[in-house]
Chains A and B, each alone.
Chain A
Amino acid sequence: MIRKQILSFVALAFLLTLAAGPGVAQDVDKLNFPKLNKLEVPEVEKVTLENGLRLYLLPDSSLPIFKGSARINCGGYLNTPDKVGLASICGTVLRTGGTAKWTGDEIDEKLEGIGGHVETYIGNTSGGASINVLSEYTDLGLEVLAEIFRRPVFEQDKVDLAKVKQRSIISRRNDEPMQIAIREFKKVIYGPKSPFARHTEHATINAIERQDLVDFHNKYFKPQNVQLAFWGNFDSKTLVNKIKAYFGDWVREGDPIPALPEIDYKFDNEVYYVHKADVNQTNIIMGHIGGLTTDEDYPDRIVMNNIFGGGFGSRMFNAVRSREGLAYSAFGVYTANISYPGMFYAFASTKSETTSKCVREMIKEIKRMQKDPPTKDEMRSGKDGYLNSFVFNFDSKGEVVRRLMKYDFYNIPDDFLAQEKEKVEKVSSDDVIKAAKANLRPDAMRIVVVGKGEDFDMPLEKLGLGDVTEIDITIPTGEEKKELVINDETLSKGKKLLDKAIKAHGGLKAYKNIKSVWRKATASLVTPNGEIPMPSEGIDVFPDKSMGFYSVMGRKIYSSIRNGNIGWKTDPKTMKLIPMTEEDLLKNNKQRARNTLRIFMNSDDPNYQAVYNGSGTVEGTEVNWVAIVDKNGDVICRFGFSTVNNELVCKTYFSEDGSVENVYSNLTVVNGVKVPMKSVRNVNGQKVMTYDLSEYIINGEIPDGTFSKPEE
């Protein structure tokens, strides 16, 4: 039946071409093109200031814009392993954290008020800045750049903001599967600790302090390490004078910058699997170490890349995408860097059910690069594309001047690109096969597969590509249960953190002014049958009077009344007020000692010490732990202060009930001090009570007789 239909459809076939017009089909090979207008490679002016600052200038008056780009010789590779992310945060806060002259917010206002941009970053192997303002604001742009480079102040608030962002990036890093694949592949190739692959963790971000950024900047931001490129609407001579005014007195000093680390790579077969349950598509990336831009056969590899996996007609694209329909995204490239080896990799994303099929197709194409010499057409595509589009290396002024700046840094000749072009012109099909044989190692590849393994067409083990190692991408929380260590460092840090917290809550002075506090609240007791709300009040008159009661069914139940050395409490059996025993008084003293207000107002009392006790998380908030220790070295309580704003998040202590944790929220300012209006009490991990303040009266009038035993 199918056969029969062929004939009838032949007639329709003509229609299927959608021929809409009568025109004669075009043969593009027969077109004759006029000669290309001469390419005026713009001349870049290079100037080196006396202090070693290097300038690259390319005026262009076509639009009233002033643009620039900077390169700073530093990078994330200089971070120590415990502070990965330092350089990157430095690069961010450099711009956002203000300068000697302006706050970060003022710079934002200045720039955004004129639609201008100045941005800074520090990457793995270099730092940089970009500037874009209308040329009427050239001076402002230059001054902002100079301020940022020379006199950044790294405002604490903006350091905190950058850390919050970094932490959020960490917590989001497993959302997009392609991102996971590339990240893990880099670690698989360069090694998880390599500066070229490692990434931030909560712990490394937590470890970074403002001072670290100050130190990093001081060490590397020196004029001899900085290059500045400008293009746009300016007169070079005038601009150089302006730059001298802003940067000329920047003092050349400091040590040479350490070189990039060496890479030690051993070719082998490794298969890694990352489980991702919420996807129906597998991301596959495979390959090994790559090469350098300055390698002898780099031009051969340019052609090889184009044929293998670069563009539309490449083998990867044709096979994996067009022929097999296995992937939308499929490409492969042997990358190279100037300063350290790149990677060779092939990438594709395919539906879970075709994972192994896709892996095999990819390997097949890699192997074929070494076997099947490029056809005439492939050579034409691989070379002509590069050669014919060469002019696009020069169509943007910014690109020209930035490239030159980079070449100059690495001592690569200005005409490197032109030399490369000449070499590419001479590349033969043999050269491509030779390059593929010399550089590709399909027999020794490392493969990372990210997907939902249970839906794969075949277990990865059965591919015969080696043992499969599962990578756990669970994000470490950065929490460390630390034994309390009391030494100079933890003491000084603890004191600093406590002081910051007091400041964040209104300052020591405000606390010193507190004579009395009257709290009215609803305490809700958590029971298996639900919460039982109990109105409650508490009064403290410092230093030695206090009173607290709950109301149950309209009747007051006193927790305690203290007046100097005497006191009363409600007897749980008779529900009557009885005098406190010696033991009761001691217990009550302990309660008094861990009163937050009391600790804050007496933070300068040398009998008590604040000890830093590591960082952690309380119900989702990152905190620094500070233990309050008495003169015997006994822990009175432990505060968790927010790492972001130093506010009190939590207090923990041990009582006869067990391990108690109070979690605070809804901080509100009363008489100049910040008070948590809500707290939740957990005992031994169980929520036992919530406490909602309705009134908080500081230095109010206290009724007479509050601290005497009331009439029964």
Chain B
Amino acid sequence: MKNSKIGQTIVLICLMLLTTAAVSAFDFSELENSVSEFTLENGLTVLIMERHDAPVVSCLTYANVGASDDPKEYTGLAHMLEHMAFKGTTTLGTKDLDKELELIAVEDSVFLELRSERKKGRFADSARIAALEAAYDSARDASYEYVIPNEFGNVVEREGGVGLNAFTASDQTVYFFSLPSNKIELWMAMESERFLNPVLREMYKERDVVAEERRMRSESSPVGRLIEEFSSIAFKAHPYGIPVIGHMSDIQNYSRQAAKEQYQKYYIPSNLTIAIVGDVKSKNVIKLAKEYWGRMKYRPQPERLGTIEPEQTGERRVVIEDPSQPFYIVGWHVPNGTHPDRPAIDALADYLGQGRTSLLYKNLVKEKKAALNVGAFPGFPGNKYPGLVAVYAMAAAKHNNDELETEIFNEIERLKTELIPAEEVEKIKARAKAQFINSMDDNQGVAMQLAGYQTLWGNWHELFNELDRINAVTAKDIQRVAKKYLTKKNRTVGMINTEES
């Protein structure tokens, strides 16, 4: 949250779920066997991988809640909760809990009055708004008197925690940091407390911070603006079309009550997975997990989203005229991350737009020199529900989106009629293998993958099965999914056309 990366997250998650495949020369079963899984009585899943190279450990909490779960009128609430999870607990971050809670209550009551008056729009009583605003400001200031700001983060950093951060995406919210491994108990204590006894303090100030984050990522950034428009037309029913950070008016209207309800619904042990990778002993980790996380009460998993994006019936297109340089993106609806077609779609994306030897890079960047960069990735904006496989391209100076689009579509049509050469399919698999091995090189990356697979598939072992899935892909499969999904009526196009100022 210090630097929560919504945009990059999407890519990260894509990469995460792409890093696939196995290897003959290296024994993966050894890695796989070094993972322990344990489920607490309250439903919390604990994943541990022991690695004793250096006395450090990476820990994370993977919450199966994301922007897709935001309630109506409260877009961005999952992301707001991520911010609030850094605000401390009943013991961390307060000078006097009772007094602070009293004042927080006042703050809430004034804000709710103010909000309901504001929502009257042109019928609102401006004098009353002014009075409430004054009261609201002083209530905010009053409760702030009892706050020890950022104490949660301070303790983590002081004790040697590094990389304290979190991110929210459409599918999930993930919290993480690494510690010297002798302090695993500190993580257990603080992280469980964070979700067991949180205090949503400074919430109304934090809304302003989130509003600034929105201005930075979406409103003052040309590509940010485009992606928001693009997603909103790509999905007409499913919340994948809603920006993770939320709409500005919703951000300004969050109430503590709404945040609390969302929190109580999703931050329950059966909806969380914790992953610990590093210089620890599984037995000890499980003991500590029972002691600290075991304090949370069992609650059944929250009901999942029922909205299904209807089949698209015609191309959709959004064009932003903007003084900034051209940017082009096109996406096609594809099934979710566990669908049997996905390995072929992932392979297709790799062949199409990942690396210097990919089809589009060779054509648009190397040969035509019409693009500065081009890429393809599946699973936008998530993998839990059917999302998009997307291709983006940045026109080189003096070139335009129309040129790029024609080339992109031509290449895709070619893929539908010509089979990818067998040796290219082998290269896709070789890359997947190398990527997979490299992804095992970093404790936090491994923790993220284990928890991610556990949440998406319900079984972390699937991480180690990716190799089999990708190795089973044939050139025909790739052609089949290209024909099936990369159709005109199934696509959405977004672009920034440079407007001369």
- Interface-central residue, B155, B159, B441, by most chain A CB under 10 Å: B441
Interface residues of A in 285-331 (CB under 8 A from B): 311-313, 317-318, 321-329
* B372 at interface by CB-CB < 8 Å: yes
The complex places the Cα of A136 from the Cα of B181 at a distance, in Å, of 32
| Tally of A interface residues using CB under 8 Å | 105
| A328/B397 contact (C-beta < 8 A), A16-B104, A20-B296 known | no
* B316 at interface by CB-CB < 8 Å: no
- Interface-central residue, A2, A329, A380, A387, by most chain B CB under 10 Å: A2
* B18 at interface by CB-CB < 8 Å: no
Q: Interface with A: B185-193, B234-242, B482-490, which one? A: B185-193
A323 surroundings in chain B (CB, below 8 A): 144, 149, 205
Query: Scoring A residues 6 to 20 as 1 if CB is less than 8 Å from chain B, else 0, what string do you get?
Result: 100110111111111
* B339 at interface by CB-CB < 8 Å: no
* A132 at interface by CB-CB < 8 Å: yes
**A17 contacts B198, CB within 8 Å?**
yes
Interface residues of A in 121-168 (CB under 8 A from B): 132-134, 136, 160-161, 164-165, 167-168
- Interface-central residue, A28, A321, A392, by most chain B CB under 10 Å: A28
- Interface-central residue, B86, B102, B430, B434, by most chain A CB under 10 Å: B434
The complex places the Cα of A336 from the Cα of B97 at a distance, in Å, of 42
Partner of B182, one of A17, A33, A133, A280: A33
The complex places the Cα of A339 from the Cα of B319 at a distance, in Å, of 48
Interface residues of B in 404-447 (CB under 8 A from A): 423, 426-427, 430-435, 437-438, 440-442
Instruction: Report the minimal beta-carbon distance from B467 to chain A, rounded to whole angstroms.
Output: 13
Interface residues of A in 618-660 (CB under 8 A from B): 620-622, 644-645
Instruction: Report the minimal beta-carbon distance from A156 to chain B, rounded to whole angstroms.
Output: 12
Query: Scoring B residues 83 to 101 as 1 if CB is less than 8 Å from chain A, else 0, what string do you get?
Result: 0001001111000011001
* B472 at interface by CB-CB < 8 Å: no
A384 surroundings in chain B (CB, below 8 A): 158-160
The complex places the Cα of A27 from the Cα of B190 at a distance, in Å, of 9
* A411 at interface by CB-CB < 8 Å: no
**A6 contacts B102, CB within 8 Å?**
yes
* A34 at interface by CB-CB < 8 Å: yes
* B157 at interface by CB-CB < 8 Å: yes
**A279 contacts B106, CB within 8 Å?**
no
**A620 contacts B398, CB within 8 Å?**
yes
| A65/B437 contact (C-beta < 8 A), A312-B2, A384-B158 known | yes
Query: Scoring B residues 243 to 287 as 1 if CB is less than 8 Å from chain A, else 0, what string do you get?
Result: 000000000000010001001100110000000000100000000
* B305 at interface by CB-CB < 8 Å: no
| A280/B295 contact (C-beta < 8 A), A36-B182, A328-B210 known | no
* A585 at interface by CB-CB < 8 Å: no
A26 surroundings in chain B (CB, below 8 A): 89, 91, 189-190, 193, 292
Interface residues of A in 339-393 (CB under 8 A from B): 349-351, 377, 380-381, 384-385, 387-392
* A705 at interface by CB-CB < 8 Å: no
A327 surroundings in chain B (CB, below 8 A): 209, 212
- Interface-central residue, B181, B323, B396, by most chain A CB under 10 Å: B396
* A253 at interface by CB-CB < 8 Å: no
**A391 contacts B180, CB within 8 Å?**
yes
B372 surroundings in chain A (CB, below 8 A): 164-165, 168-169, 172
* A114 at interface by CB-CB < 8 Å: yes
* A38 at interface by CB-CB < 8 Å: yes
**A13 contacts B427, CB within 8 Å?**
no
The complex places the Cα of A211 from the Cα of B25 at a distance, in Å, of 44
* A564 at interface by CB-CB < 8 Å: no
Interface residues of B in 172-215 (CB under 8 A from A): 178, 180-183, 185-186, 189-190, 193, 195-200, 202, 205-213, 215
Partner of B212, one of A108, A109, A328, A390: A328
* B314 at interface by CB-CB < 8 Å: no
The complex places the Cα of A384 from the Cα of B150 at a distance, in Å, of 16
Instruction: Report the minimal beta-carbon distance from B76 to chain A, rounded to whole angstroms.
Output: 13
Instruction: Report the minimal beta-carbon distance from A417 to chain B, rounded to whole angstroms.
Output: 15
B160 surroundings in chain A (CB, below 8 A): 384-385, 387-392
Instruction: Report the minimal beta-carbon distance from A201 to chain B, rounded to whole angstroms.
Output: 13
**A16 contacts B150, CB within 8 Å?**
no
A22 surroundings in chain B (CB, below 8 A): 295
**A114 contacts B434, CB within 8 Å?**
yes
| A280/B220 contact (C-beta < 8 A), A114-B430, A114-B434, A170-B397 known | yes
* B153 at interface by CB-CB < 8 Å: yes
The complex places the Cα of A280 from the Cα of B219 at a distance, in Å, of 7
Query: Scoring A residues 48 to 78 as 1 if CB is less than 8 Å from chain B, else 0, what string do you get?
Result: 0000000000001011110000000000000
A395 surroundings in chain B (CB, below 8 A): 53-54, 56
Instruction: Report the minimal beta-carbon distance from A306 to chain B, rounded to whole angstroms.
Output: 8
* A700 at interface by CB-CB < 8 Å: no
Partner of B216, one of A18, A60, A329: A329
A322 surroundings in chain B (CB, below 8 A): 149-150, 202, 205, 209
**A37 contacts B55, CB within 8 Å?**
yes
**B366 contacts A161, CB within 8 Å?**
yes
**B216 contacts A16, CB within 8 Å?**
no
**B197 contacts A17, CB within 8 Å?**
yes
Instruction: Report the minimal beta-carbon distance from B493 to chain A, rounded to whole angstroms.
Output: 20
* A614 at interface by CB-CB < 8 Å: no
**B222 contacts A28, CB within 8 Å?**
no
The complex places the Cα of A161 from the Cα of B366 at a distance, in Å, of 7
CB nearest to A281 among chain B residues: B215
| A280/B279 contact (C-beta < 8 A), A22-B295, A313-B153 known | no
**A25 contacts B193, CB within 8 Å?**
yes
Instruction: Report the minimal beta-carbon distance from B420 to chain A, rounded to whole angstroms.
Output: 14
**B157 contacts A385, CB within 8 Å?**
yes
A20 surroundings in chain B (CB, below 8 A): 195-197, 264, 267-268, 296-297
* B481 at interface by CB-CB < 8 Å: no
**A621 contacts B181, CB within 8 Å?**
no
B3 surroundings in chain A (CB, below 8 A): 329
CB nearest to B193 among chain A residues: A26
B104 surroundings in chain A (CB, below 8 A): 13, 16
* A116 at interface by CB-CB < 8 Å: yes
* B495 at interface by CB-CB < 8 Å: no
The complex places the Cα of A617 from the Cα of B155 at a distance, in Å, of 58
B202 surroundings in chain A (CB, below 8 A): 322
B71 surroundings in chain A (CB, below 8 A): none
* A5 at interface by CB-CB < 8 Å: yes
* B43 at interface by CB-CB < 8 Å: no
**B357 contacts A108, CB within 8 Å?**
yes
* A528 at interface by CB-CB < 8 Å: no
Interface residues of A in 422-446 (CB under 8 A from B): none
B86 surroundings in chain A (CB, below 8 A): 312
* A171 at interface by CB-CB < 8 Å: yes
Instruction: Report the minimal beta-carbon distance from A82 to chain B, rounded to whole angstroms.
Output: 20
**A168 contacts B394, CB within 8 Å?**
yes
* B308 at interface by CB-CB < 8 Å: no
CB nearest to A177 among chain B residues: B220
* B116 at interface by CB-CB < 8 Å: no
Instruction: Report the minimal beta-carbon distance from A235 to chain B, rounded to whole angstroms.
Output: 16
* B50 at interface by CB-CB < 8 Å: no
The complex places the Cα of A27 from the Cα of B91 at a distance, in Å, of 7
Partner of A318, one of B150, B152, B355, B438: B150
CB nearest to B97 among chain A residues: A17
CB nearest to B183 among chain A residues: A33
Instruction: Report the minimal beta-carbon distance from B403 to chain A, rounded to whole angstroms.
Output: 12
* B135 at interface by CB-CB < 8 Å: yes
> Can you list 18 contacts pairing A with B, beta carbon distance less than 8 Å?
A6-B105, A17-B198, A19-B197, A20-B195, A21-B197, A33-B182, A35-B182, A63-B441, A108-B357, A112-B356, A115-B435, A132-B438, A177-B220, A311-B2, A328-B210, A381-B157, A388-B161, A389-B157
Cβ-closest 3 pairs across A and B: A115-B434, A388-B160, A312-B153
A-B contacts besides A19-B90, A37-B52, A322-B150, 18 pairs, CB < 8 Å? A10-B105, A14-B101, A16-B105, A17-B97, A18-B263, A26-B91, A28-B155, A28-B186, A31-B185, A38-B55, A112-B355, A167-B398, A171-B325, A313-B149, A323-B144, A349-B215, A388-B180, A389-B161
